[in-house]
């Protein structure tokens, strides 16, 4: 059994799975039940100044019959009184000494306000605090949340107010609603943060109602942008996480990062760990399925680690970071082609139409005599399953023409039916960066490029 124990900025938890600051961690009784289910930690729903919430505050993106591939919300920070939250945090921490209990906070941008909240949070016995610089709606209109996260100056200043007085670890939670995530991360580090977390939700409009022409959800006839989270945002979050790992300043700071954004399964979580997160947080998946999902998050992760010979969470963290690179450093001579496993293929022809209409026209439909045939070529008088199945041609890749773009691989509905197989180009390995140093004209002159391709046998059709 792999050891899932996690230490994050000095805070220990029995596993790396924390509830993100959000509805699942809204109250003491909820967090209590989450801990009973096995969650390693909880970042309390953000506490701070008084607010009033609205109805219809959660929208969602459904696709192809799948519900809630993403949630979209205009919920504010906790609408329960500060006193109540602080008292419940105290009670929960006392009852669960081995779990990570983190208070998420957001107050007015004044040093006194921040000093006051730090003192009161520390009185609860919480293990740490997370500064919410990410809420993209409502709070930002009041100069808090994303209004801070989007301004590196503010971000650094407020962080330093907090770190000047805080005795417990301070995690700065970043907003993804920014062009370069590295900038606010560096600001937080300059402000003395002990750790980072990302991502908060992404600005979004969920949908428009085709009957009423209102936005969906409609809040008394109006709607607006809200924060986007859930499975659909995972690739965005992974990219931001990797960008921090690859940054020299953030990397050198050694600050731990708590990763989140779309984590639903242990596989998702493992990917965050591999790209440098040292704990992970979950919101939408819990809102969809409840606290019980933590069982498989732990079980699946542990079994996978055993299989891979990874004994501790520390062995997993950042293992894939060295693979993060840029286009300019990719090997241009690397070549792969698509190959169809005809025994697995169900002949849906989705690869064929994708390649033929939108890629490189290098999949043929081959009949039993080995000849390439045109689609819809059957006689209108023919019918019946026997004829339709037995006469159905087999899609086959013309590997010499295949540029290895991987589109067919992505559309194929059958597991492991199309493989991208290495097909050594025979060319010496070279990157774009190297090429620009040796042959700068290739980046400017199509004639030169043509000559280069001819010389190296690169055919693009």
Check binding of 421 to ligand SF4 (CB under 6 A).
Answer: no
* Residue selected from 16, 23, 24, 59 as contacting ligand FMN according to rule CB under 6 A: 23
* Residue selected from 380, 438, 455, 461 as contacting another protein according to rule CB under 8 A: 380
Nearest to 93 by CA among 28, 4, 25, 19: 28
Nearer to ligand SF4, 246 or 411 (CB): 411
Check binding of 347 to another protein (CB under 8 A).
Answer: yes
* Residue selected from 33, 392, 406, 456 as contacting another protein according to rule CB under 8 A: 392
Burial of residue 212 (number of CB atoms within 10 Å: 0-12, 13-18, 19+): exposed
* Residue selected from 146, 283, 365, 397 as contacting ligand FMN according to rule CB under 6 A: 283
Check binding of 360 to another protein (CB under 8 A).
Answer: no
Check binding of 64 to another protein (CB under 8 A).
Answer: yes
Binders of ligand SF4 among residues 338 to 367 (CB under 6 A) are 340, 345-351
Burial of residue 268 (number of CB atoms within 10 Å: 0-12, 13-18, 19+): buried
Binders of ligand FMN among residues 205 to 244 (CB under 6 A) are 227, 229-230, 233
Q: Which residues pair with 100 in a beta bridge?
A: 41
**Per-residue tokens: 134:** 């990410």
From ligand SF4, ligand FMN, another protein, none, interface partner of 417 (C-beta below 5 to 8 A by class): ligand SF4
Catalytic member of 135, 351, 362, 402: 135
Q: Which stretch, 131-139, 161-169, 275-283, 341-349, contacts another protein (CB under 8 A)? A: 341-349
Give the shortest CB-384-to-another protein separation in angstroms: 6
Give the shortest CB-56-to-ligand FMN separation in angstroms: 12
Burial of residue 374 (number of CB atoms within 10 Å: 0-12, 13-18, 19+): exposed
Check binding of 208 to another protein (CB under 8 A).
Answer: no
Q: Is 412 a catalytic residue?
A: no
From another protein, ligand SF4, ligand FMN, none, interface partner of 45 (C-beta below 5 to 8 A by class): ligand FMN
Q: Which stretch, 27-35, 68-76, 220-228, 381-389, contacts another protein (CB under 8 A)? A: 381-389
**Per-residue tokens: 291:** 């606290």
Check binding of 30 to ligand FMN (CB under 6 A).
Answer: no
Write the interaction track for ligand SF4 spanning residues 364-403; mark x where CB under 6 A is met and - where it is not: -------------------------------x--------
> In the complex, which residues of this chain contact ligand FMN (CB under 6 A)?
20-23, 45-46, 58, 71, 73, 75, 77, 104, 132, 134-135, 173, 200-201, 227, 229-230, 233, 260-263, 282-285
> In the complex, which residues of this chain contact ligand SF4 (CB under 6 A)?
340, 345-351, 395, 411-412, 414, 417-418
> In the complex, which residues of this chain contact another protein (CB under 8 A)?
64-65, 346-350, 352-353, 365, 375-376, 378, 380-385, 387-389, 391-392, 413
Known catalytic residues are 135
């Amino acid at each position: 059994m792999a050891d899932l124990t996690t230490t994050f900025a000095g805070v220990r938890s029995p596993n790396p799975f924390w509830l993100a600051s959000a509805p699942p961690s809204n109250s003491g009784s909820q967090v209590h039940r989450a801990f009973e289910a096995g969650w390693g930690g909880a970042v309390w729903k953000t506490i701070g100044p008084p607010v009033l919430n609205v109805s219809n505050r959660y929208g969602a993106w459904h696709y192809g019959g799948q519900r809630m591939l993403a949630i979209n919300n205009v919920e504010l920070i906790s609408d329960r009184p500060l006193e109540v939250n602080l008292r419940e945090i105290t009670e929960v921490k006392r009852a669960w000494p081995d779990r990570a209990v983190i208070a998420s906070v957001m107050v007015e941008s004044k040093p006194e306000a921040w000093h006051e909240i730090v003192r009161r949070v520390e009185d609860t016995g919480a293990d740490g605090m997370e500064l919410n610089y990410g809420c993209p709606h409502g709070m930002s209109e009041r100069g808090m949340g994303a209004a801070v996260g989007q301004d590196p100056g503010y971000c650094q200043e407020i962080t330093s107010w907090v770190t000047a007085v805080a005795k417990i670890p301070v995690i700065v939670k970043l907003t993804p609603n920014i062009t370069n995530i590295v900038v606010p991360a560096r600001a937080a580090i300059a402000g003395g943060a002990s750790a980072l977390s990302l991502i908060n939700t992404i600005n979004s409009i969920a949908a428009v109602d085709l009957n009423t022409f209102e936005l969906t959800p409609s809040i008394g006839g109006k709607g607006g942008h809200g924060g986007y989270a859930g499975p659909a945002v995972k690739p965005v979050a992974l990219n931001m996480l990797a960008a921090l790992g690859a940054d020299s300043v953030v990397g050198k700071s050694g600050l731990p990062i708590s990763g989140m954004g779309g984590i639903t399964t242990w596989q998702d979580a493992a990917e965050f760990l591999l790209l440098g997160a040292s704990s992970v947080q979950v919101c939408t998946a819990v809102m969809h399925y409840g606290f019980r999902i933590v069982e498989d998050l732990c079980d699946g992760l542990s079994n996978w680690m055993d299989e891979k010979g990874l004994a501790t969470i520390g062995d997993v963290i950042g293992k894939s970071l060295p693979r993060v690179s840029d286009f300019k450093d990719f090997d241009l001579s690397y070549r792969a082609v698509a190959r169809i496993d005809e025994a697995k293929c169900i002949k849906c022809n989705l690869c064929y139409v994708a390649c033929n209409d939108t890629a490189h026209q290098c999949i043929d439909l081959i009949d039993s005599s080995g000849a390439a045939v045109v689609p819809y070529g059957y006689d209108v008088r023919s019918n019946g399953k026997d004829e339709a199945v037995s006469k159905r041609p087999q899609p086959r890749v013309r590997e010499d023409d295949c540029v290895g773009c991987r589109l067919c691989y992505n559309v194929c509905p059958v597991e492991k039916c199309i493989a991208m197989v290495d097909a050594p180009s025979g060319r010496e390995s070279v990157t774009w960066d190297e090429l620009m140093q040796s042959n700068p004209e290739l980046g400017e002159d199509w004639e030169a490029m043509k000559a280069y391709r001819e010389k190296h046998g690169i055919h693009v059709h």
